[in-house]
């Protein structure tokens, strides 16, 4: 891989963005890449829009993905996916969890999905939250499901084995099994 790979994770504070970021960072580290990532804590974690950035490659300088240069936008929530889509470039693939957290004056889910489809980007809509809730009785691990999906569809240049190792390195013992299951569920989708 010659070019630095750029990822933006978008979602709502409290959805587990930082854990997902840690797993992805670690997986890239396992593969021997240089990595820089950036995240936000505090007020933004209390249910507001949150975006995190990950960049990995031979040598990475800035931790921030510049406008138009994302290779993958991974959204844990539909409206946040749409919001981030304005930062997409020609090469950007957009992976969106079919999950909607409404708030006062937010648009309807159907409109959001429709607009996402109209972005003319390589766009994937996956029912990660729903599947995780049904099959694992836990929604928060939809993050790992989406990662599994992204790996199997080759939306990002990380190997399954590296991600599994990263999960083991990052996730506490107590939740390890659940997270691996979620990853496998997304991978098998």
Partner 1 sequence: MKKILLGNEAIVKAALAAGVQFVSGYPGCPSAEIGDIIGKVAKENGIYAEWSTNEKTGLEAGIGASFSGLKVLVNMKSFGINVCSDSLFPLAYTGTKGAMVIFVGDDPGCHSSAQSEQDSRGYAYLGKIPVLEPSDPQECYDFTMLGFEISEKFNVPVILRATTRVAHQRSPVNFGERKPGIRPIGEFIKNPRQFSTMPPRTMEMKNELLEKLEKVRQFAEKSKANKVSKRKNKTGIIASGISYLHVLEALETMGLDLPVLKLSFFYPFPKKIVANFIKDKKSILVAEELDPYLEKEITALAKDTNLKLNIFGKNVLPGTGELNSEKICVALSKITGKKFVNNKSPALNLPKRSARLCDGCPYWYIFPVLKRVAPDAIFGGDIGCNMIAGLPPHNMHDTLFSMGASLGISHGIKKSTNQKVISMMGDGTFFHSGIPALVNAVYNRSNPLVVVLDNRITAMTGHQVNPGMGKTLMGDIVEEVKIEDIAKACGVKNIKVLDPINAQDFEMAIKEFLVKDEVSIIICKRICALLARRQKNG
Q: Would you tell me which residues interact with partner 1 (CB under 8 A)?
A: 12-14, 21-22, 25-26, 29, 34-44, 46-49, 60-64, 66-69, 79-80, 82-83, 85-89, 103-107, 115
Burial of 122 from C-beta contacts in 10 A (0-12 / 13-18 / 19+): middle
Which residue, 62 or 134, has its beta carbon nearer to partner 1? 62
Calpha distance 107→183 (Å, rounded) = 30
Q: How far is the CB of 5 from partner 1 (least distance, A)?
A: 14
Q: How far is the CB of 169 from partner 1 (least distance, A)?
A: 9
Which residue, 37 or 97, has its beta carbon nearer to partner 1? 37
Which residue, 89 or 188, has its beta carbon nearer to partner 1? 89
Q: How far is the CB of 81 from partner 1 (least distance, A)?
A: 11
Distances (CA, A) of 88 to 2, 92, 157: 20, 6, 18
- 109-117 and 78-85 helices, crossing angle to 10°: 40
Q: How far is the CB of 69 from partner 1 (least distance, A)?
A: 7
Which residue, 8 or 60, has its beta carbon nearer to partner 1? 60
Relative to beta strand 93-97, strand 72-75 is: parallel
Sign of CA dihedral 44, 23, 98, 136: negative
């Amino acid at each position: 891989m010659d070019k630095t790979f750029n990822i933006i994770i978008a979602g709502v504070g409290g959805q587990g963005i930082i854990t997902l970021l840690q797993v992805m960072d670690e997986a890239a580290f396992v593969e021997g890449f240089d990595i820089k990532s950036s995240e936000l804590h505090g007020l933004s974690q209390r249910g507001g829009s949150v975006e995190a950035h990950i960049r990995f490659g031979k040598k990475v300088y800035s931790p921030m993905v510049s406008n138009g240069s994302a290779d993958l936008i991974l959204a844990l929530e539909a409206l946040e996916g749409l919001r981030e889509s304005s930062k997409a470039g020609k090469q950007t693939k957009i992976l969106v969890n079919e999950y909607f957290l409404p708030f006062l004056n937010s648009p309807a889910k159907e409109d959001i999905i429709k607009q996402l489809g109209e972005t003319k980007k390589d766009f994937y809509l996956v029912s990660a939250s729903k599947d995780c809730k049904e099959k694992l009785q836990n929604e928060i691990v939809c993050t790992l499901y989406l990662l599994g999906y992204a790996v199997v569809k080759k939306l990002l240049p990380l190997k399954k084995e590296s991600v599994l190792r990263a999960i083991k390195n990052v996730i506490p013992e107590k939740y390890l099994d659940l997270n691996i299951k979620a990853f496998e569920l997304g991978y098998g989708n």
